[in-house]
Amino acid sequence: MSDISLIGMMSIFTAGLSIGLGAIGPAIGEGLALANAMRALAQQPDKANTITRTLFVGMALIESTAIYCFVVSMILIFANPFWNYVLDRSGG
């Protein structure tokens, strides 16, 4: 097990784990919010504008936590400083 394969394996595994775990919370949170927005629309169809606007701004805020995970995942795959270092060292 060379350094390269160890760093590589761990980067691959962490990239998948981080987005895999990180998709659970936001999806359930957004589902909860959307579900109640449906009820709100049924109760006050005249205020669809206000409700929809607040809903999408809020969902964007929740989505941001999923995006943090995606960003970490992409950094680990395409811009990983640890990987770059071991490649440099091995004269890659």
- Which residues ranging from 56 to 75 are in contact with a copy of itself (CB under 8 A)? 56-59, 61-66, 68-70, 72-73, 75
Sign, Cα dihedral of 73, 79, 82, 86: positive
> What type of residue sits at position 9?
M
Residue 35 vs residues 56, 65, 72, 75: alpha-carbon distances, Å: 13, 20, 29, 33
Binding mask 38-57 toward a copy of itself (x if CB under 8 A, else -) reads xxxxxxxxxxx-xxx-xxxx
Tokens of 57: 């701004």
* Under rule CB under 8 A, residue 91 binds a copy of itself: no
Q: Is 84 in the site for a copy of itself (CB under 8 A)?
A: no
Distance in angstroms (rounded) separating the CA atoms of residues 4 and 92? 11
Residue 11 Cβ vs a copy of itself, minimum distance, rounded to whole Å: 5
9 binds a copy of itself (CB under 8 A): yes
Q: Is residue 81 close enough to count as binding a copy of itself by CB under 8 A? A: yes
